[in-house]
Structure 1
Amino acid sequence: MIGPIPPSERAQRARQAFEFAGPDLRGLVLFDDQFIQYYSGFVFIPTERPVALIITREGQRVLFVPRLEHEHARETGQAEEVCSYPEFPGERHPLQLLHEHLQRLGLAPGPVGVDHDGYPPVMGYSGPALSEGVSVRRVSTALDHQMALKSPHELSLIRESARWAAHAHRLLQRYTRPGLTEGEVEARATREATQAMQAALGPGFRSHNRWINGAVALYRGQIGPNSALPHAININAAFQPGDNLVTGASAGVWGYLSELERTMFLGEPTPEQRRYFQHMLALQDLALEHLGPGRTCAGVDRAVRAYCEREDLTEHWRHHVGHSLGQRIHESPFLDIGETAVLEPGMVLSVEPGLYVPGLGGFRHSDTVLITAQGVEWLTNYPRALDALVIPIEEA
């Protein structure tokens, strides 16, 4: 039975963080909930009350939490110590108390590596910068690099996510009918897929993902002409014959996720829809050809843009080719012309070049792939060809 990241792996991450962040740092102070989860396993909902993870060079992890999270952090986190403060803003500001813990641990006056210079503005939070009491250096990019290199256990969770994302998407495609609304189709597909996943993975299973809970398949408002908006939101549209449909599916599996998206049609597509669909498919194939160890992220995006220019499609281009993902729904590096990163084995990326035609619709497939020493491994597995993505009206 597939399980969460073991405590030993999270402890190893904490010790290895300094190989990425820098050997001269006395410690790390991290406020981002995703970094805190990555190194300690503590999953929480960020509010105005500061939460921080301190990591010493020896790998000791100290969770700094509000009193209301103390038991939660002790029971579910994997830090060696949990310390708490009464409340925010409190008689003494939590950041003042955090400085005292840094002094107690011998990390002041620094330098310490940080993701933010103090707790970021969340739900009305305000407070002093961490640098008012200790020397800091931003290390987010270095830690993002560590997070981008997935371990075998992380990959097993992403593969499991991809499997259940495909199941949810099959249900979404099966239940889509003219006259129904996106809300009822999404709810049915997501409910049934989540129930099946939870039954298969057992009573102890948890999604533990901030963005995806269960196995989810959605339209997100990308129905008919509205599918030309790459980041539309649910409008509870009713499906109609001829609709151009853009989907999204994923599953949260012990904190990790995948990305699966498809362009479908309700009834036979028009010649114009077919033409843009085939261009979109060619763009994704081209992007995949340019992926591999030692290749540049910028090179992938540059190849896609060149195709758009040759085929007079640039006015329908809206975003870069893709992004890394795993614990976060979007991680770095990005398949973008401005990204300097080189692809390495262990990186997991979405590949999702799209075309968006106002008045007609959007055309985007997204698949999750792994960079290997030999090239690329597909982690998502769902039909890509046009014929498999047409929903016949007589069967709808």
Structure 2
Amino acid sequence: MNNRLSKLRDALAQIGADALITEETVNRRYLSGFTGSTGWVIVTEKEAFLVTDFRYVDQAQEECPHFTVVNNERKSLEAIAQVLKKAGVKRLAFESSLSFGTYSNWSKSFEGVELVPTSGFMEKLRMYKEESEVQVIRQAVKIAEDAFEHILGYIRPGVTEIEVALELEFFMRRQGASASAFDIIVASGHRGALPHGRASEKVIAAGEMVTLDFGAAYQGYNSDITRTVSVGEPHPRMKEIYEIVLKAQIAGVEALRPGISGKEADAVTRDIITAAGYGDAYGHSAGHGLGMDVHELPNLSTASPFILEPGMLVTMEPGIYISGLGGVRIEDDVLITADGHDVLTQSTKELLILPV
């Protein structure tokens, strides 16, 4: 945590602020390690505070050894104001997601403090993963990949999408996940044309492709994997589409390295799919950052402003979606390294045709 606080203080100096306050769950945990549901992190030039209520004081003292824990005694606004006054804070950075009501209350209550809005400030710090973070994500990936191997023996004609999703989540929880990273996508047959087709009561039938997009939430971090399998022999056109997506996805992963832009990485996949005649059927970006949030910076898209650097961790997930027929998406989690990349997800990407 000390390294994160040092990076934060350097960033604050660059914008001329002498402290940051955040209540945002993920950013609060990233800076302090606090896993409770209520609390404000305040980081100044020399000190770090966690303001919370009596329910979490003991927990915060255990989880946040580098922070001074302040019991707000059910008067959070007054407690925060007192911390700022004692620390001599004059310019306080806050996240632009703050509600207008809270901003108004702070403006009135924090005497002598100028509020400095920031956008994407913490998210840009979180783009660069420490080795300890990568190790946790690797375990989240392992849980998801073990779940994928498990579910291959469960998917068959007559099973509903929601039953597959439940089995995936039960399995991941049994392996140590705290939850699914997001609502599990199980989209079979024609529903595969829905990029975010959350699992439904639809019954899986022979000859259908099934897209599985899921991940494990583990110790505050997430994995995100997509594989598309076929239940019995697929429609010939779907088989062709699968090979196009696979070619694009492999090329996209191979292109990931320091110095490439998110826009260029997206173009690698988009050019292949467009050349095959399916450009209009690929309507989302190639990938996104992954960590404490499932979708975080940097993004890989046609408008991405980011240049990839070592320590960034992204997904690569092109897809093709044909209304009334189905869809295919394949996704890996990839760490950008000093000399290229490290693909964390190792589950096979060859088309699996499950027995019926």
Q: TM-score, normalised by structure 2?
A: 0.90
**1:63-110 residue CA offsets vs partner (Å, 9 max, x unmatched):** 1224443343334334522223344xxxx6x44542332122111x31
- Which residue does 2:56 correspond to in 1? 69
Distance apart, 1:259 and its partner CA: 1.5
Distance apart, 1:257 and its partner CA: 2.0
What secondary structure does 2:49 align onto? Answer: strand
Closer/same/farther in 2, CA of residues 78 and 238 from structure 1, 3 Å limit: farther
- Which residue does 2:353 correspond to in 1? 390
Percent identity over paired residues:
26
What secondary structure does 1:349 align onto? Answer: strand
- Which residue does 1:5 correspond to in 2? none
What secondary structure does 1:72 align onto? Answer: helix
Q: In structure 1, how many angstroms separate the alpha carbons of the residues matched to 2:308 and 2:32?
A: 27
Equivalent residue for 1:293, pick from 255, 258, 265: 258
- Which residue does 2:7 correspond to in 1? 16
Q: In structure 2, how many angstroms separate the alpha carbons of the residues matched to 1:26 and 1:219?
A: 42
Q: In structure 2, how many angstroms separate the alpha carbons of the residues matched to 1:44 and 1:140?
A: 24
- Which residue does 1:251 correspond to in 2? 216
Query: How does 1:281-360 map onto structure 2 within 5 Å?
Result: 281-360=246-325
Q: Which moved more, 1:365-374 or 1:71-80?
A: 71-80
2:30 is equivalent to residue 38 of structure 1: yes
Closer/same/farther in 2, CA of residues 217 and 166 from structure 1, 3 Å limit: farther
Equivalent residue for 1:262, pick from 215, 222, 227: 227
8 Å contact 1:219–1:245 — kept in the other structure?
Answer: no
Q: In structure 2, how many angstroms separate the alpha carbons of the residues matched to 1:36 and 1:250?
A: 22
Equivalent residue for 2:69, pick from 72, 75, 82: 82
Paired AA for residue 264 in structure 2: G
Q: Structure 1: any 5+ residue segments left out of the alignment?
A: 1-9, 199-206, 208-212
The structure in which a higher percent of residues are strand is 2
Distance apart, 1:136 and its partner CA: 2.9
Closer/same/farther in 2, CA of residues 186 and 383 from structure 1, 3 Å limit: same
2:84 is equivalent to residue 102 of structure 1: yes
Distance apart, 1:129 and its partner CA: 5.5
Q: In structure 2, how many angstroms separate the alpha carbons of the residues matched to 1:281 and 1:104?
A: 58
2:41 is equivalent to residue 53 of structure 1: yes
Q: In structure 1, how many angstroms separate the alpha carbons of the residues matched to 2:33 and 2:210?
A: 37
Closer/same/farther in 2, CA of residues 116 and 215 from structure 1, 3 Å limit: closer
Alpha-carbon RMSD across the aligned residues, in angstroms, is 2.4
8 Å contact 1:52–1:63 — kept in the other structure?
Answer: yes
Query: How does 1:102-141 map onto structure 2 within 5 Å?
Result: 102-107=84-89, 109-110=90-91, 112-116=92-96, 118=98, 120=99, 128=104, 130-131=106-107, 133=110, 134-141=113-120
- Which residue does 2:149 correspond to in 1? 170
Q: In structure 1, how many angstroms separate the alpha carbons of the residues matched to 2:150 and 2:58?
A: 39
Closer/same/farther in 2, CA of residues 264 and 21 from structure 1, 3 Å limit: farther
**1:1-23 residue CA offsets vs partner (Å, 9 max, x unmatched):** xxxxxxxxx12211221223434
Q: In structure 1, how many angstroms separate the alpha carbons of the residues matched to 2:321 and 2:171?
A: 31
Distance apart, 1:372 and its partner CA: 0.8
Q: In structure 2, how many angstroms separate the alpha carbons of the residues matched to 1:366 and 1:374?
A: 22
Q: In structure 2, how many angstroms separate the alpha carbons of the residues matched to 1:335 and 1:116?
A: 23
Equivalent residue for 2:344, pick from 375, 379, 385: 379
Q: TM-score, normalised by structure 1?
A: 0.81
Q: Which moved more, 1:22-31 or 1:69-78?
A: 69-78
Paired AA for residue 33 in structure 1: T
Distance apart, 1:267 and its partner CA: 0.9
Closer/same/farther in 2, CA of residues 266 and 45 from structure 1, 3 Å limit: farther
Q: Which moved more, 1:128-137 or 1:283-292?
A: 128-137
Distance apart, 1:341 and its partner CA: 1.2
8 Å contact 2:165–2:185 — kept in the other structure?
Answer: no
Distance apart, 1:173 and its partner CA: 1.5
- Which residue does 1:29 correspond to in 2? 21
Q: In structure 1, how many angstroms separate the alpha carbons of the residues matched to 2:184 and 2:10?
A: 42
Paired AA for residue 291 in structure 2: G
Distance apart, 1:376 and its partner CA: 1.3
Q: In structure 1, how many angstroms separate the alpha carbons of the residues matched to 2:234 and 2:63?
A: 50
What secondary structure does 1:177 align onto? Answer: coil
Distance apart, 1:378 and its partner CA: 0.7
What secondary structure does 1:298 align onto? Answer: helix
Closer/same/farther in 2, CA of residues 300 and 175 from structure 1, 3 Å limit: same
Q: In structure 2, how many angstroms separate the alpha carbons of the residues matched to 1:231 and 1:95?
A: 40
- Which residue does 1:148 correspond to in 2? 127
Closer/same/farther in 2, CA of residues 337 and 96 from structure 1, 3 Å limit: farther
Q: In structure 1, how many angstroms separate the alpha carbons of the residues matched to 2:345 and 2:325?
A: 27
What secondary structure does 1:312 align onto? Answer: coil
What secondary structure does 2:298 align onto? Answer: strand
**1:347-389 residue CA offsets vs partner (Å, 9 max, x unmatched):** 1111001111111112101100111111111101101011xx2
**1:20-41 residue CA offsets vs partner (Å, 9 max, x unmatched):** 3434321111121111000100
What secondary structure does 1:246 align onto? Answer: strand
